[in-house]
Structure 1
């Protein structure tokens, strides 16, 4: 972000609407290209920061969600903007759950709409581990702290600002722009994108393509290094391990103690790994990363694993090197993470049953039942059985890289960060984008704030934060993408 008006920058600093960039990445958010027509960078930075602070202050921790308050905030901003139609979609079963749809009408539309989506709910926060109040937006040392700053209120705030800026140019637009803010993305009842598709598909279903969270813009050594555009994502499952044994008085140790068997089984499955499998997205992902990788061993492994005609033995050998990085490992295979352990009810009673939950993120074309069978083979305990919680899901096809929206995302990235490498990306997490792909709307994921690893890994963790200059960068990125694809 560049602010050339020194007096304006000074005023923003004094008002708390701007903060100095974090010291380790002074240049990451400086865009040397001229600002796009119609966008005032200083205003976009200040406005988006204000919106994000307001959104963080609206507690939408899920459960219970209470997204209605955020939907009303969006409505209050957009309903007076000429050319924008707004709808608050309350969920009948719970009046505090709601989705929000706004549509910027082009004066003379000639193409199908482009949709931009983000979710209003956030995960919970262990407030004892936070340096600040998780739901009080706090600027400290160049960062804005608060739950949702990254996931996903930062994108919502940036999109809100970009939409208002575009509304002033709607005479130039040749397609409508739909802003879709969802409920319930972070789990629980299906009150969000699936509910809207079922009950109000007419409001979003004519979109040609969509932009959502899910990708990454990664900063290293003070520069934007990669722009990862999500074209597909892993599929979310829970697998339950149940151990059974003889219960009794704790004063008489029993050899078939259910919790002991459970502990041994989950340790083995934790160490087990699913086979390596590449798809079109992940092969191209490693191929392009190899062009910028500094570590010689990692570079060679990326080149080998993405080479045309690589044998399975070559792929496995390369994967052994790449898997040293947890993020690369998660892209290479279906992953299983131990997340819950449950057993026992008193210290002096041996329980007859114990349970553990593994959260499994499966490759889009993975056979989840085969994965569960493999987990049962790996656990090595007759007393323990692994079972799938729910039914297998059908993963939607990946979004193609040849669409106008993907090309606009590439173009904006190369203009704003010329030295960055743009790569298609398979998200290891689940997003609302899968629901749109399933109904035939190609959907591309991006978290538009450039982030160092340290900040990206705070997502869903303690002390979630975003570098303040990254907020304006995000707004400009979304604005550029939408303006290119809609004019």
Structure 2
């Protein structure tokens, strides 16, 4: 797969000074006018992780219930995890990202973003951001139940109940740390936790490198003068993950601009406006020249 190829390339380039990922970051076009609204470069991404929770039981016939039922136990665990909120966090990158992005959000959301930046413990701001699917992932780690499998017959007590918890981990934390936190939240001695993540590795944010920031801002001025440029943190994995895993700074720096209503990433109808081609070439020539040694 593409991600496996990226892992191999990252291994071979683990001594690189800097990586430009042209499949990350990008700009937003105004829905009404189609004109460039703002541009973000991606300097961090959350670590993807899957944790499997298993509870076993001797089982038996359903006509003779035991005091402890594996499905009921697992249900209680999932209820606790579902109600749990990880501590909201702010990094230098997300501070800059939230501050700059606030004017482009709905007023209530933008106000909450600025309030959170001013005070990461502001419960009112946190509640607003957590309730919004597009912002909940920007302020900390999130974990949700995504799959459940239990029992083996309609007339038998379950001998096994299994659930998958999918997490998107805020940069700076390792999967083992988050799994341990989930175990504490579960508060169920009978539950065993296992990291079953595939195709993902933990990675921290890339540094806010002045040379990269200056180069990308200069390149953007050449094609779209006056368009705001600021960082962003992705909620899912990109190829940058593999380089950051080797402590190589990697930045999503694609000059592709798109209307949010036209974003069909990974879909059969995925598209990009033709208007991106000519400005993109000018942008890359500037960016590559300034960062080359």
Is 1:395 the equivalent of 2:203?
yes
Residues of 2 paired with 1:413 and 1:249: CA distance? 68
In 2 relative to 1, CA 479–277 (structure 1 residues): closer, same or farther, beyond 3 Å?
same
Matched pairs, number = 287
| 1:240 Cα offset (Å) | 1.6
| 366, 371, 376: which one aligns with 2:178 | 371
Alignment match, 2:288: 482
RMSD over equivalenced CA pairs, Å: 3.2
1:234-313 to structure 2, matched below 5 A, reads: 234-290=46-102, 292-293=103-104, 295-307=106-118, 310=119, 312-313=120-121
| 1:367 Cα offset (Å) | 5.2
- Structure 2: segments with no counterpart, 5+ residues: none
| 1:423 Cα offset (Å) | 1.5
Residues of 2 paired with 1:480 and 1:335: CA distance? 38
How far does the alpha carbon of each residue in 1:407-450 deviate from its partner, in whole angstroms, 9 at most, with x for none?
23223334434454321122222233233234453211135432
Residues of 2 paired with 1:244 and 1:205: CA distance? 43
TM-score, L = length of structure 2: 0.80
| 443, 447, 452: which one aligns with 2:259 | 452
Higher Rg of the two aligned structures: 1
Contact 2:59 2:156 survives alignment (8 Å): yes
Alignment match, 1:465: 270
Residues of 1 paired with 2:78 and 2:279: CA distance? 41
Instruction: Pick which of 342-351 and 467-476 moved more.
Output: 467-476
How far does the alpha carbon of each residue in 1:69-92 deviate from its partner, in whole angstroms, 9 at most, with x for none?
xxxxxxxxxxxxxxxxxxxxxxxx
User: Which protein has greater RCO, CA pairs closer than 8 Å, 6+ apart?
Assistant: 2
Contact 1:399 1:437 survives alignment (8 Å): no
1:209-224 to structure 2, matched below 5 A, reads: 209-212=18-21, 213-221=23-31, 222-224=34-36
1:55-454 to structure 2, matched below 5 A, reads: 65=1, 121=2, 185=3, 191-198=4-11, 201=12, 204=13, 207-212=16-21, 213-221=23-31, 222-290=34-102, 292-293=103-104, 295-307=106-118, 310=119, 312-314=120-122, 316-366=123-173, 368-379=175-186, 381-389=188-196, 395-396=203-204, 398-403=206-211, 405-418=212-225, 420-454=227-261
Contact 1:289 1:421 survives alignment (8 Å): no
- Structure 1: segments with no counterpart, 5+ residues: 1-64, 66-120, 122-184, 186-190
